[in-house]
């Protein structure tokens, strides 16, 4: 949790991630050895909440940059830069960011997740396997070959249907993909294999830096940025929630709509217009 640089913010997310990962490794290992209690610990591990001391939490919140949603110009710049590189992996990051921003999709639902198969799990013959890991599918070209995507999310099995032809930025990235590559996972490395989360993060950062996107605009903010753009455009909150595959509209309101000066200006303009209407009537 120590700051990376003197006077920097405590690395709370990194510390929590390390603790979770180490606990997972320990209880999995214990369960494989048949040690008492480890299997039960492994089953409840996902429900555990790691609490950060209040003084550290306050210091972390004060030092971290304000949450910045990705804007359209950021997403568009990343798409242009990724396509300019001309490689399969760079086309992939352009496609991935376009899907996250335009379709307000979670990163995991776009790139998929590498996991170890569960005990006794029957693995489909068509599954993509790397050593002892199996790819839980994200987007595949076949999913929207007819122009429509019927999505069920990993996180909460939320469902949404998209006409992918209605999203220009996604179509721009898709048009650059050669016909021979339009099969299997949407986001891949040069060999056509699904990528890990860390690989995708690093690839995104490289392209985003080259495109001049601020470093406080993270890849995970693409989905938030798409939802905020919709809200600024006057889209009903219920429609935004459904588009983002949220079961609870409060999730959209609390975590995905980022306050913007454009929203306050629109509110102010409408209030002033309302006052003028009252004056005219009077």
Residue 276 lies in a domain: no
255 pLDDT more than 70: no
- Least Cα distance to 80 among 98, 68, 105 occurs for 98
Residue 7 lies in a domain: no
What share of the chain in percent tops pLDDT 90?
40
- For 126-167, write each residue's pLDDT tens digit: 889 888 889 988 999 999 999 999 888 777 777 788 999 999
9 pLDDT more than 80: no
**How much is the pLDDT for 258?**
67
Distance in angstroms (rounded) separating the CA atoms of residues 282 and 242 = 42
Domain extent, residue 158, equals 72-256
- Least Cα distance to 252 among 275, 235, 273 occurs for 235
- Least Cα distance to 98 among 268, 270, 219, 257 occurs for 219
Based on the fold, state whether residues 57 and 80 are members of the same structural domain: no
Distance in angstroms (rounded) separating the CA atoms of residues 4 and 263 = 36
pLDDT band, very low/low/confident/very high, at 120 (cuts 50, 70, 90): confident
Based on the fold, state whether residues 194 and 248 are members of the same structural domain: yes
Based on the fold, state whether residues 114 and 205 are members of the same structural domain: yes
Based on the fold, state whether residues 100 and 47 are members of the same structural domain: no
- Indicate the number of domains in the chain: 2
- For 14-63, write each residue's pLDDT tens digit: 888 888 888 888 888 888 888 888 888 877 776 777 777 888 778 777 77
Distance in angstroms (rounded) separating the CA atoms of residues 208 and 46 = 32
CA distances from 166 to 21, 149, 202 (A): 40, 12, 29
Residue 163: strand pairing partners: 148
Distance in angstroms (rounded) separating the CA atoms of residues 202 and 211 = 14
Based on the fold, state whether residues 43 and 151 are members of the same structural domain: no
Residue 184 lies in a domain: yes
**How much is the pLDDT for 212?**
96
pLDDT, greater one: 273 or 261: 273
Residue 265 lies in a domain: no
- Look over the chain and give the mean of its residue pLDDT values, rounded to a whole number: 86
């Amino acid at each position: 949790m120590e700051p990376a640089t003197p006077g920097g913010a405590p690395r709370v997310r990194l510390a929590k991630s390390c603790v979770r990962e180490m606990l997972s490794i320990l209880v999995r290992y214990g369960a494989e050895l048949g040690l008492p209690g480890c299997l039960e610990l492994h089953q409840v591990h996902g429900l555990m909440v790691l609490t950060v001391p209040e003084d550290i939490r306050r210091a972390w919140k004060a030092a971290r940059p304000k949450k910045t949603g990705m804007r359209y110009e950021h997403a568009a710049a990343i798409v242009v830069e990724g396509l300019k590189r001309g490689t399969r992996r760079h086309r992939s990051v352009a496609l991935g960011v376009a899907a996250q921003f335009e379709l307000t999709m979670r990163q995991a639902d776009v790139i998929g997740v590498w996991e170890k198969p569960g005990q006794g799990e029957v693995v489909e013959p068509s599954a993509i396997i790397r050593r002892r890991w199996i790819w839980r599918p994200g987007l595949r070209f076949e999913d929207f070959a007819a122009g429509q995507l019927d999505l069920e999310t990993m996180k909460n099995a939320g469902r949404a249907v998209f006409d992918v032809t209605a999203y220009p930025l996604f179509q721009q990235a898709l048009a650059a993909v050669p016909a021979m590559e339009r099969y299997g996972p949407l986001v891949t490395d040069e060999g056509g294999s699904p990528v890990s989360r860390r690989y995708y993060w690093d690839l995104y950062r490289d392209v985003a830096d080259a495109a001049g996107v601020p470093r406080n605009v993270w890849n995970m903010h693409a989905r938030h940025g798409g939802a905020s753009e919709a809200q600024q455009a006057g889209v009903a909150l219920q429609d935004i929630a459904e588009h983002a595959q949220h079961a609870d509209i409060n999730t959209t309101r609390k975590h995905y709509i980022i306050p913007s000066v454009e929203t306050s200006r629109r509110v102010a303009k409408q209030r002033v217009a309302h006052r003028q209407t009252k004056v005219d009537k009077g």
